[in-house]
Structure 1
């Protein structure tokens, strides 16, 4: 632009010069640009010279602008969501997705690595997976998301990951993956965790299971009696399951009507293969009424222990009486 201004100023000065000075300028122009063609006047030569000067300045300006244009539009890749995906939380056993949206990638390559202190393990390069763990894969999402997929997440998957773009130096997006395990508990009527419950023959077994710390919504809760699944059991009858999803804690309640001693055993409430809670159920006949309960396990467990102690004392006294008679 400075060159253009100089030539424009020079052209203005030349046009205002007295006519007697033009021949000298024309002679100079002849030396600079090859002379005056036949039939041209000095004025024509001057115009041609100015035209040549202007053409030269225009070419120079174009080259300068082109160079400047190239500098301004040397576009490099950049991360679209740099501040939004630095922390990811996934549920144990679920599928985790780590997003990496890259704009203006052009001929560069995106890779995922796992960082453990100073150690770096390559997971993917472009669309190819280099991990020996088949749970890892590159799941590209059009138009620009180089998404890392981790199936069946385990506790050891928790840690730092990096999405890298092959610029010089490489552009790096760090992602922290957190693995959360749901907490499953079987509780009594007061909300306290319970591991053993007692029922009387003919009563209704009621077991309440709570599932908390679930980053991903899930509704399928399995109830089992030993190895037998109860959710869809129609052979026995009187079995029902009610699940409440109204709060952040899932509550699933199992009902078994007309309990018999066959219903005794270990009951489990599970969230797939991720987390399980269990309770040992005793269905007793009427010979030990003090052991029957439908509430807290602590008080009634003491009652059962007292009954067993009294039974043991009775047996001991009977043995002593028999020995005395002999």
Structure 2
């Protein structure tokens, strides 16, 4: 085994030789000093080499690939993919945890969150475990933990950065720049007038423009997207022009989307509060924004509540009553 010698020049001029054990050669002894001959000043010894990457505790224990990226950047509205590579997983499981609220998002191939944007991706032939975040928002930025179910747990942290985003004007401009055939539905032949008619995707919120609900009840907003050659890639719900957070501290907020020839998205807000009043918007990826204004009532009853078909029905009744009065005067 190679010996390591450090020399210290004393005031008397004699040299003191220190024979260090082999462990010192491997960098386990810190703070060693040596002197350059001819100088009385102490000089730090060479810095020890960096520690090796995290390795398994045993030959068959799982460990993380240290080359896995620790920083991921995604664009607002696009999918973000956080990946960790686990070697020698064996019979252990891999979980993804959002670190800011210690929320377990996925375990193995299963998703444990009501936010449908999160999904676990894993292919049997690979050792990669990926967390997909669809339609990433800036609130998704932060640290995510990839965890192996060993004892104790082994963790690998990945930081997500979400940048960019489309304003209303830029989103409208993007739609204008999209080739017309991307939004057109196959033409509909009209036998009556022998004309061709083109239709583009449209979004509509039932009950618009105003919807009244009682405090404590459930707000149920229904957005219908029609005339689309294929279902929209995503649908965002907004409150006061801000994306609604399905996992906010308020709770009781959920979205259900049924895709098909006609796509329907339901926004459900339980236990309505006065602060839930305001403008709500449904923004599909392939159609213009549809909006409705929600009024949460605290026991009051406005004189006129013309909401959707109910409003039209009340107006029709009023017209009939006026006609009967006029006839009686003749």
TM range (shorter): 0.3 to 0.5
TM-score normalised by length of structure 1? 0.35
Structure 1 or 2: more strand by fraction: 2
TM-score (norm 2): 0.35
